[in-house]
């Protein structure tokens, strides 16, 4: 379907199936962050989740991206824009997170790279087991090839997680005002402060680490930077206004 033909269609014709695909894509995008939640709570082991849910969700998102490119231009634009802007916004997050742990030591370590990398490769079954490995030096004493595998897989996961969070934002909000991204970054950060793995390792908001506020401050600054970049890019590159609520209204009208 050409863009000109799509523009000529009535709203209900343009959104036929689009709302369902949008909701499905949001659920698939959430599979990335849920990897941590389900695994940490012991609901689904990390390795099982990786094979049964995480990898299939990536494949499904790619398939929807290809399908929507030809059938649902608006969904395609929002999905692809969210993915690439979310990945770029993760660079802004890293610009604060890396100095936060490497220079200030306000974070206990390279948690957003090493931690998912360890879980993805089956090196630790739980956050507490991983913390024991870190304190005992078992992580640093592993062969260099294993450490590199952990770093590479953890980095891929980290940026994919940032990309999918960006896609969730654009699929929910559409174009939006740039400062909506700041609110999204704040919501992500608050969710992280109550995440099971953080509570298990450092307590809510990381209050058990250093002075108690260090993890929260660095994480907040990093996620707000993420939100600013995401919001600015989404406002610039998402083509049509209107949130998912607009899709629903058009779908039911």
pLDDT at residue 3, as a whole number: 46
- How far apart are the C-alpha atoms of 162 and 84, rounded to whole Å? 9
Q: Tell me if 177 sits within 8 A of 211, measured CB to CB.
A: no
Distance in angstroms (rounded) separating the CA atoms of residues 229 and 231? 6
Q: Can you give the pLDDT at residue 247? A: 82
d(CA 60, CA 62): 5
Distance spanning both ends of the chain, measured CA to CA:
23
For residues 162 and 85, give the distance between their C-alpha atoms in angstroms, rounded to a whole number. Answer: 9
Q: Any idea where the domains of the chain sit in the sequence?
A: 3-252
Instruction: Give the model's pLDDT for residue 156.
Output: 97
| Residue 211, Cβ density class (10 Å: 0-12 exposed, 13-18 middle, ≥19 buried) | exposed
The predicted pLDDT at position 252 comes to: 66
pLDDT lower than 70: segments of the chain? 1-16, 251-253
Report the alpha-carbon distance of residue 129 to residue 89 in Å, rounded: 31
Contact between 176 and 244 under an 8 Å Cβ cutoff? The reply is no
- Among 252, 250, 230, residue whose Cα is nearest residue 84: 230
Backbone angles phi, psi at 45, to 5 degrees: -55, 145
pLDDT of residue 211: 95
pTM (two decimals) = 0.90
- Alpha-carbon distance 29 to 172, whole Å? 12
Q: What is the pLDDT of residue 13?
A: 44
How many Å separate Cα 221 from the centre of its chain? 17
């Amino acid at each position: 379907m050409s863009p000109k033909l799509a523009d000529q269609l009535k709203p209900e014709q343009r959104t036929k199936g689009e709302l369902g695909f949008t909701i499905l894509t949001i659920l698939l995008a959430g599979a990335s962050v849920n990897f941590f939640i389900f695994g940490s709570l012991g609901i689904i082991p990390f390795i099982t989740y990786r094979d049964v849910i995480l990898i299939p969700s990536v494949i499904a998102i790619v398939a929807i991206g290809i399908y929507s490119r030809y059938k649902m231009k608006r969904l395609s634009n929002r999905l692809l824009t969210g993915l690439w802007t979310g990945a770029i916004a993760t660079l802004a997050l890293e610009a604060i997170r890396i100095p936060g742990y490497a220079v200030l030591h306000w974070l206990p370590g390279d948690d957003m790279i090493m931690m998912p990398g360890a879980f993805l490769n089956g090196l630790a079954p739980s956050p507490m087991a991983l913390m024991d490995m870190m304190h005992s030096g078992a992580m640093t004493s592993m062969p260099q090839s294993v450490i590199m595998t952990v770093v590479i897989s953890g980095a891929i996961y980290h940026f994919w997680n940032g990309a999918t969070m960006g896609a969730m934002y654009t699929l929910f909000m559409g174009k939006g005002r740039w400062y909506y991204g700041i609110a999204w970054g704040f919501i992500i950060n608050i969710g992280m402060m109550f995440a099971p793995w953080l509570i298990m390792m450092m307590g809510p908001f990381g209050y058990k680490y250093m002075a108690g506020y260090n993890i929260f401050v660095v994480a907040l600054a990093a996620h707000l930077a993420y939100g600013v970049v995401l919001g600015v890019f989404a406002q610039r590159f998402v083509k049509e206004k209107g949130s998912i609520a607009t899709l629903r209204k058009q779908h039911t009208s």
